[in-house]
Amino acid sequence: MIPYGRQTISEADIRAVVDVLRSDFLTQGSAVPAFESAVANYCGAHYACAVNSATSALHIACLALGVGKGDSVWTSPITFVASANCALYCGADVDFVDIDPLTYNISVECLAAKLAQAEKTGNLPKVLIPVHLSGQSCDMGAIRRLGKQYGFNIIEDASHAIGGQYRGQPIGNCSYSDITVFSFHPVKIITTGEGGMALTNDAGLARRMQLLRSHGITREIDQMTHEPDGPWYYQQIELGFNYRMTDLQAALGLSQMQRLDEFVATRHSIAKRYDDLLSHLPVLIPWQYSDSYSSVHLYVIRLQLDLIGKTHRAIFEALRVAGIGVNLHYIPVYLQPYYANLGFNTGYCPEAENYYTQAISLPIFPSLTLVEQDQVVSMLSRAISRATAFDF
Ligand SMILES: *Cc1c(COP(=O)(O)O)cnc(C)c1O
């Protein structure tokens, strides 16, 4: 099976992890701060807080911004459930804004309309979590303007997007947001096995996230309520978690950072080749803003089912049977039974539901070979032509 995504591990990566295994500290050593600095410097952000997953990063980002009971957090329905769950962890409510039909990111028009309505009814969001689907930035300039106008904070879920740029600047510099979150799960752009990071330019938010990732405990005298009782002393000043990243993970991440630009460039060339090879098929290829540079985490096509005359599911299953590990990113979050139980119904975000009936993620990762890519395209052609006798 050709997977839809997979990690790219070098001998240098392996050596970096083995070096940590031979060192004194498997966790809470020097690799975590080194990885944090590398990512912060790359992105042009002041502070970085490494954690054990992007899910944890989203959770402590919400808490650091004060999200709690009675608050509302809005996000896109076309995302992984973690982008919404983080608000529920904090006791807040979640709501969804429909997607843009071209980029599949949150629609700025729908957002503006929903905000105008929410202002009238007095239930504006406290935090918005735009998700950079496939690694293409949302329209952050417009989102930031709405944030200022309506007074909400912004957490960028950039789990797909490290290595990408928006208007010539690295995603993660937090020019348009309070906090940006990355994921280092193996299918993402760079990996630490499991892992995530939260970036910010705000010293107060950075301090709170650092506390929350490690039990709410501090060893900094200036954060304590009184002088230390002795050299052993620490204080718990918040209710935090154990969300720490290990040094084994950080060493892998630091080593992977050296090839980040290369990984993204390779993803672009694979995507470009798909664009060309698929041009004769009845599918929509990903649409890209001209002024942004995607990290190309996913390559999502949409089946033009009216031309194909067979179901989305039939094509998807034919590809899986042929050994092509296609996937679907994503099921609209509010259609999950857990969210349906919270009161969301089918029809809530029509554009997202329409997307869900047509989208397929084709395999894309740096070590995908030309032969494998040709195989993906030929199996897709066959699945479609068998369905329709479509003339190629
Ligand atoms: C992968 C992903 C997450 C969760 O990342 P983990 O590191 O696995 O917790 C959150 N949001 C989006 C959009 C993702 O793709």
Residue 131 Cα: closest atom of ligand 1: 13
Q: Read off the pLDDT of each residue in 264-283 and give the average, rounded to a whole number.
A: 98
Residue 204 C-alpha from the chain's centroid: 24
Q: Residue 72 above 70 pLDDT?
A: yes
User: Would the CB of 51 count as within 6 Å of ligand 1?
Assistant: no
Contacts of 353 (CB under 8 A, 6+ apart): 332, 335, 346, 347
Q: Residue 386: its pLDDT value, please? A: 65
- Residue 183 CA to ligand 1 centre (angstroms): 6
Does 2-257 match 260-385 in CATH topology?
A: no
- Residue 310 CA to ligand 1 centre (angstroms): 32
User: Would the CB of 160 count as within 6 Å of ligand 1?
Assistant: yes
User: Would the CB of 177 count as within 6 Å of ligand 1?
Assistant: no
Q: Is the dihedral of CA 380, 382, 388, 392 positive or negative?
A: positive
Q: Residue 392 above 90 pLDDT?
A: no
Tell me the C-alpha distance between 161 and 173, whole Å: 12
Residue listed under structure tokens 């200036």: 222
Q: Residue 389: its pLDDT value, please? A: 47
Please spell the DSSP secondary structure of 22-59, one letter per residue: TSS-SBSSSHHHHHHHHHHHHHT-SEEEEES-HHHHHH
Under the banding of pLDDT at 50, 70 and 90, the label for residue 318 is very high
pLDDT digit string (tens) for 183-240? 999 999 999 999 999 999 999 999 999 999 999 999 999 999 999 999 999 999 999 9
User: Would the CB of 54 count as within 6 Å of ligand 1?
Assistant: yes
User: Would the CB of 297 count as within 6 Å of ligand 1?
Assistant: no
Range 260-385 classified under CATH 3.90.1150.10: yes
Rg for the chain, CA atoms, rounded: 22
Plot region of 37 (φ>0 → left; ψ -120 to 50 → alpha; else → beta): alpha
Q: Find, among 317, 316, 321, the residue nearest to 360 by Cα.
A: 316
User: Would the CB of 183 count as within 6 Å of ligand 1?
Assistant: yes
Residue 183 Cα: closest atom of ligand 1: 7
Q: Residue 144 above 50 pLDDT?
A: yes
Chain-wide mean pLDDT for the chain? 97
User: Would the CB of 104 count as within 6 Å of ligand 1?
Assistant: no
Residue 344 is classified by DSSP as -
Structure tokens at 293: 């540079």
pTM over 0.85: yes
pLDDT digit string (tens) for 89-138? 999 999 999 999 999 999 999 999 999 999 999 999 999 999 999 999 99
Q: Residue 291: its pLDDT value, please? A: 85
pLDDT digit string (tens) for 362-389? 999 999 999 999 999 999 999 998 654 4
Least confident of 73-77, 126-130, 287-291: 287-291
- What are the boundaries of each domain within the chain? 2-257, 260-385
Q: Residue 390 above 90 pLDDT?
A: no
pLDDT digit string (tens) for 147-182? 999 999 999 999 999 999 999 999 999 999 999 999
Residue 187 Cα: closest atom of ligand 1: 1
Q: Which of 76, 78, 80 has most ligand 1 atoms within 8 Å of CB, for mutation?
A: 80
| Fold topology of 2-257 | Aspartate Aminotransferase; domain 2 (3.40.640)
- Residue 389 CA to ligand 1 centre (angstroms): 39
